[in-house]
Amino acid sequence: MPGTTPTLAELGEIVRTSTGVNIDMSEVERRPAVTFEELDVDSLGLLSVIASLEKQYGVELGVDVEECETFGHLIDAVEEALGAPAAAGHTENAIVIDAPFDLVWDMTNDVPSWVTLFSEYAEATVLERAGDTVRFRLAMHPDENGIVWSWVSERTPDRAGQVVNARRVETGPFEYMNIHWAYREVEDGVEMRWTQDFHMKPAAPVDDAQMTDRINTNSAVQMARIKQIVEQAALASRVESPQ
């Protein structure tokens, strides 16, 4: 096996044998951004996993336990240690919204309202619905050169699983763009986490690293805006319906 990177299933078995925790790999496949903490793997367990990987692959991963929050982080560390080609673009951003789950879910998954919820979109038009999947067109406000960027995407929300999987249908400068939204009820409200995996086309004006920086910067701005709007709606709802 040395010289190749572990598959998700192989890593799941390493985690199980190293920690004794019976990982539900269907949960990991369904929610790529699920953290080891959520799977009941503590920091000592992760140290054991890292040691097992280093022994099995004959490498030094040189990673901090605090930096390895997900299966993807460990796989990336092994790839880097083995000198594998650099992974394509990957971002992960999260924010906690102080509002009931139903309100957070409904407001953030109402695509036509995205022109208000997000500051970057001038158009959000639903083109087709098939079951839970919605296909829609997004258009941004004109850039500094007067160009309006637009594309078609589709997303499939799973309310029971508290996740949404989406992808660009018209990829534009991307080879692909896959997006995963995960919601989790926490003490202070609802954590909303966005994970984006993508790869830029060779002729794109920016590369994967540059797009990663752009997405991380913009995600922080948009998440802060969404948090403010949803929390204001939650407050208004509490005022109108006092307990």
Q: Could you tell me if 72 and 116 lie in one domain?
A: no
240's CB contacts (< 8 A; 6+ apart) are none
Of the candidates 102, 143, 137, 135, the residue with the CA atom closest to the CA atom of residue 123:
137
Q: Any idea which residue has 């258009």 for tokens?
A: 139
Domain boundary among 47, 81, 115: 81
Q: How many domains does the chain have?
A: 2
Average pLDDT on 175-184 reads 93
Give me the domain span that covers residue 183.
89-240
Amino acid, single-letter form, for residue 190: V
Name the pLDDT band for 242 (thresholds 50, 70, 90).
low
- Confidence check: pLDDT of 5 > 80: no
Residues 163 and 57 both lie in one domain: no
Among the candidates 46, 81, 116, a domain finishes at 81
* Any domain includes 191: yes
pLDDT in tens, 26-40: 777 766 677 888 889
Task: Give dist(CA 157, CA 21) in Å, integer.
Answer: 29
CA distances for 12 relative to 22, 25, 41, 43, 195, angstroms: 9, 7, 12, 16, 20
83: pLDDT strictly greater than 80: no
Please indicate, yes or no, whether residues 55 and 141 belong to a single structural domain of this protein: no
What's residue 139's pLDDT? 95
The pLDDT score that the predictor gives to residue 187 is 94
